[in-house]
Amino acid sequence: MVLYDPHRRWGPRGICRWEDRGLFFADGGTPSRQPAEGVQELWDQAKEICAMCPVIKECQRDTLGEEYGVYGGLDQHERYRIRKVMSRAVDRWPDSRRMAWAQEIYTLRQSGMAWRAIQTRTGLPPSAAEKLFDLWEQRPKTKKPKAEVVELQMPDALLTKQPFPEQPGRRHAWVRNNGLIADAWYRGETPDGEWINVTTFSGRGSVNKWFRKEDVHLYRPQVVVVLHYAARPEDADDRDKEEAYAAAS
């Protein structure tokens, strides 16, 4: 059973890559509200392009968590409405699908992923994801026979972070952003080099964000720019607050 592709490897086959991004990301305001008529017309044109795309099913499956824009023939308001009823919908899923998702959500949480990042990655809002997490924790545990203690060499810890692409992108650096790899422009870094500030693309436009140096791969080395900050980025409560520390270059 294929739940989703967390790396969106179908992306290079999407025909939207060669189309006007203004159609797909026309500003429709808050996803919970119906957009203005003019914006809806642009979104409908984008959906006509989606209908001809060879990966529309994969795109629709893997982008339900995107807050803004048109993906897989669904606009941001339609995806919002789907997420709103997802918590009740999971109760009607077949047991095999529900438990498979429960195990996946449990694994993501155990790796340290925040609920908001899980929504972006899987399309499951926090209310549904928390229900599945609890379902996995409360599953009946099968008692295993006590095994003989044998000294074995412990394997190296498994790496949970996605590797960077081998090929360079079109900007300066690859960054790990909410469980995905994104292309970014280098802006600067803290004096000790432990945090790097870049400009990357979100569903609503370009944003400046801080990333730890191990989550940034400069495939085009840049002249070091030291940025001043009001407080260290790790002092923020979560990654969303890191944007508050981005300084003007």
Write out the chain's pLDDT in tens, 249 residues.
789 999 999 999 999 989 998 999 999 999 999 999 999 999 999 999 999 999 999 999 999 999 999 999 999 999 999 999 998 999 999 999 999 999 999 999 999 999 999 999 999 999 999 999 999 999 887 766 666 665 655 444 334 578 888 888 889 999 998 778 889 999 999 988 999 999 988 766 778 899 999 999 999 999 999 987 766 666 554 444 444 444 433
Instruction: Tell me: do 17 and 54 sit in the same domain.
Output: yes
Distance, in Å, from the CA atom of 186 to the CA atom of 227, rounded to the nearest integer, reads: 12
One domain, residues 15 and 78 = yes
Same domain, 69 and 114: no
Domain-embedded: residue 146: no
- Give the model's pLDDT for residue 151: 61
Element (H, E) at 177: strand 173-177
**Does residue 116 fall inside a structural domain?**
yes
Q: Are residues 56 and 79 in the same domain?
A: yes
Do 91 and 78 sit in the same domain of this protein? no
Per the DSSP assignment, residues forming a β-bridge with 198 are 186, 209
Task: Print the domain residue range for 112.
Answer: 87-137
Domain count, the chain: 3
Closest CA to 26 of 12, 47, 13, 42: 42
pLDDT at 140: 86
- Looking only at the bridges linking them, the beta strands covering 216-218 and 180-189 are unpaired
Q: How far apart are CA 79 and CA 58, in angstroms?
A: 15
Answer whether residue 181 is part of any domain. yes
- Within a domain: residue 91? yes
Going by C-beta distance under 8 Å and a sequence separation of 6 or more, which residues neighbour residue 157? none
- Is the residue at 153 inside a domain? no
The confidence score (pLDDT) of residue 245 equals: 41
* Secondary structure class of 235 (helix, strand, coil): helix
- The alpha carbon of residue 214 and the mean position of all alpha carbons in its chain are separated, in whole angstroms, by 18
Q: How far apart are CA 131 and CA 127, in angstroms?
A: 6
Task: Give the C-alpha separation, 122 to 113, whole Å.
Answer: 12
**Is 97 part of any domain?**
yes
β-strand 173-177 against 180-189: which pairing, if any? antiparallel
**Starting at the edge strand that comes first in sequence, how are the strands of the sheet with 205-212 ordered?**
205-212, 195-202, 180-189, 173-177, 216-218
Residues whose CB is less than 8 angstroms from the CB of residue 142 and which lie 6 or more positions away in sequence, other chains included: none
Nearest CA to 133 out of 114, 157, 158, 159 is that of 114
**pLDDT score for 248:** 36
Q: What is the pLDDT of residue 237?
A: 45
* pLDDT for 149: 64
Query: CA geometry: angle at 166 spanning 162 and 172, to 5°?
Result: 90
168 in a structural domain: no
